[in-house]
Amino acid sequence: MDVAFHWLAALQPEAKPASRPVNRVPLHEERLALPGQRAVLLRPIAPRDADAEQAFVGGLSLASRHKRFHVGLRQLSPSMLRQMTEIDHRDHVALVAEVLADGDRAILPPVPLVADARYVRSIEQPDEAEFAIAVADDWQSLGLGRTLMDRLARHAQHQGIRALVGDVLPENRRMLVLMRGLGAHTRPHPDGPQLVQVVYELTTG
């Protein structure tokens, strides 16, 4: 269950969206119980998560990494890692799922992360944002992706965003089913049939 956006361009320093007056809504930590007596802590990503984020990406299967990044990378470069962990949580928002052991946090860092969901506000269309989500292979089909999308959408609504847009590979049926179940629709991708564009319209009223 993975979807990517054009993050290599969207996260470049020179392409950072300009700040705008919005009602900034804080992101809170939330414990989530999952099937199989598993539990995670949903929380905003932080710079201290760099090692854990690198381990998360490296632990994805080749197929999951391809669905998430659309390229065959094995690990994040130092600059990519900074761009994914040192963020403002306003124009670039990211939630991660941290594994809880026996209902509590792991003792030794880096804490294991099993999911990452984020959006970046569009510069050209500030009421839209590109979203991306990835869930570790062993943690898929547990409802984690749906919950993360729900939390991401709620936050985006409060930030005045009217639609989350993501790029999905046509063969990524699990992600397409999830997003359609949430009420999203698809449209042809401007770059061609190798991708599908998913549009998740939000109610901001």
* pLDDT value at residue 19: 47
pLDDT, average across residues 1-16: 47
CA 116 vs CA 57, 75, 120, 141, 189: distances in Å: 9, 15, 13, 15, 24
Contacts of 172 (CB under 8 A, 6+ apart): 2, 3, 67
How much is the pTM? 0.85
pLDDT, average across residues 155-159: 93
**What is the three-class DSSP state of 149?**
helix
pLDDT, average across residues 135-162: 95
Nearest by Cα to 55 from 79, 81, 29, 33: 81
Domain residue ranges of the chain, discontinuous segments joined by +:
2-15+27-201
* φ, ψ for residue 147, nearest 5 deg: -65, -45
pLDDT > 70: percent of the chain? 82
pLDDT, average across residues 66-82: 90
* pLDDT value at residue 106: 56
Q: Strand pairing of 128-135 and 163-168?
A: parallel
Kind and range of the H or E element at 73?
none
Q: Do 85 and 50 form a contact (C-beta atoms < 8 A)?
A: yes
- Cα separation of 184 and 59, whole Å? 29
- CATH homologous superfamily for 2-15+27-201? Gcn5-related N-acetyltransferase (GNAT) (3.40.630.30)
* pLDDT higher at 127 or 72: 127
Nearest by Cα to 199 from 115, 130, 137, 152: 130
